[in-house]
């Protein structure tokens, strides 16, 4: 379930990498993640001039990660507050023969069929619903505690599977070396393994950024060597 992938015109991996490449912007987002803040608050806390902060806020707003709103104060004039208004999740992997990035917009995630695969999560759904009526910090903390301990377990399982995926990739690479494949043949074979066995020549051409004609020639060669088979 990859939800709400951004089009090329809005948020993409490159924009997010560029934004997150700056330490001050990371600190600003960290601050805003604990609640809305106003400019002087951010500038004071990070000990950075307001002008610089303004420039960072402009970039974050342009990327639509951060939103500005005006809040009346009990005393004095209204203040400009900033808050995070996106929910994004990004992953990337770098390794020999690997450079993958994936960006997801979690804002309109649909978890309606999660309980079919994971019936045990139903209890958390019920608990989380309760929090809307909970008026005690202590009770909220208890719900949080059970959520995070379940989350830790799930993260373990995820890391385990990712590690296994990496092992299989490594194994495929060793096999390619043994077969004495050329660099481009290697890349084709590794992409097919990554895809779990089947991939159209068009998808291959897109993923490897090699034109379809060349992909076809490589595929023919790999077929002749009995390494891949066309369907």
Instruction: Using DSSP bridges, classify how beta strands 98-105 and 88-95 pair: parallel, antiparallel or unpaired.
Output: antiparallel
Binds a copy of itself by CB under 8 A, chosen from 75, 157, 224, 231: 157
Closer Cβ to a copy of itself, 159 or 212, answer by number: 159
Indicate whether 69 belongs to the interface with a copy of itself (CB under 8 A): no
Tell which one of 12, 29, 68, 79 touches a copy of itself (CB under 8 A): 29
- Rounded to a whole number of angstroms, the minimum distance from the CB of residue 94 to a copy of itself is 5
Q: Which residue from 101, 32, 21, 37 is spatially nearest to 69, judged by alpha carbons?
A: 37
- Contacting residues for 48 by C-beta, under 8 A, at least 6 apart: 24, 42
- Of the residues 10, 30, 64, 202, which one makes contact with a copy of itself according to CB under 8 A: 30
Stretch that binds a copy of itself, among 49-57, 149-157, 213-221 (CB under 8 A): 149-157
Q: Which among 50-58, 122-130, 213-221 is the span making contact with a copy of itself, rule CB under 8 A?
A: 122-130
CB 22 within 8 A of CB 56: yes
Question: Any contact of residue 88 with a copy of itself (CB under 8 A)?
Answer: yes
Q: Minimum distance between the CB of residue 3 and a copy of itself, rounded to whole angstroms?
A: 6
Place of tokens 């929090």: 131
Among 10, 54, 145, 200, binds a copy of itself (CB under 8 A): 145
**In the bound complex, what is the minimum distance in angstroms from residue 215's beta carbon to a copy of itself?**
13
The CB-of-68 to a copy of itself minimum distance in angstroms stands at 14
| Binding residues among 206-225 for a copy of itself as defined by CB under 8 A | 208-209
Secondary structure of the chain in HEC code, one letter for each residue: CCCCCCCCCCCCHHHHHHHHCCHHHHHHHHHHCCCCEEHHHHHHHHCCCHHHHHHHHHHHHHCCCEEEEEECCCCCCCEEEEEECCCEEEEEEEECCEEEEEEEECCCCCCCCHHHHCHHHHHHHHHHHHCCCCCCHHHHHHHHHHHHHHHHHHHHHHHHHHHHHHHHHHHHHHHHHHCCCCHHHHHHHHHHHHCCCCCCHHHHHHHHCCCHHHHHHHHHHHHHCCCCCCC
CB of 51 to a copy of itself, least distance (A): 21
Contact region with a copy of itself (CB under 8 A), list: 50-58, 93-101, 213-221? 93-101
From 44, 64, 159, 223, residue interacting with a copy of itself (rule: CB under 8 A): 159
Closest distance of CB 209 from a copy of itself, Å: 8
- Position 70 contacts a copy of itself (CB under 8 A): no
């Amino acid at each position: 379930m990859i939800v709400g992938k951004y089009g090329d015109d809005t948020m993409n991996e490159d924009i997010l990498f560029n934004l997150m490449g700056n330490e001050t912007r990371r600190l600003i987002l960290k601050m805003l993640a604990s609640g809305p803040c106003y400019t002087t608050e951010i500038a004071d806390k990070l000990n950075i001039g307001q002008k610089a902060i303004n420039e960072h806020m402009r970039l974050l707003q342009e990327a639509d990660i951060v939103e500005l709103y005006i809040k009346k104060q009990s005393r004095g004039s209204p203040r400009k507050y900033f808050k995070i208004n996106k929910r994004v999740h990004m992953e990337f992997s770098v390794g020999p023969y690997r450079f993958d990035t994936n960006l997801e917009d979690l804002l309109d995630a649909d978890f309606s069929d999660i309980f079919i695969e994971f019936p045990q999560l139903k209890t958390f759904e019920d608990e989380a619903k309760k929090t809307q009526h909970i008026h005690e910090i202590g009770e909220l903390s208890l719900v949080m505690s059970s959520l995070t301990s379940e989350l830790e377990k799930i993260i373990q399982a995820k890391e385990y599977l990712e590690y296994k995926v990496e092992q299989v990739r490594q194994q495929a690479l060793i096999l390619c070396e043994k077969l004495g494949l050329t660099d481009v043949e290697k890349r084709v074979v590794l992409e097919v393994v990554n895809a779990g066995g089947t991939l159209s020549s068009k998808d291959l051409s897109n993923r490897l950024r090699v034109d379809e004609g060349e992909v076809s020639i490589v595929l023919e060669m790999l077929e002749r060597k009995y390494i891949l088979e066309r369907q």
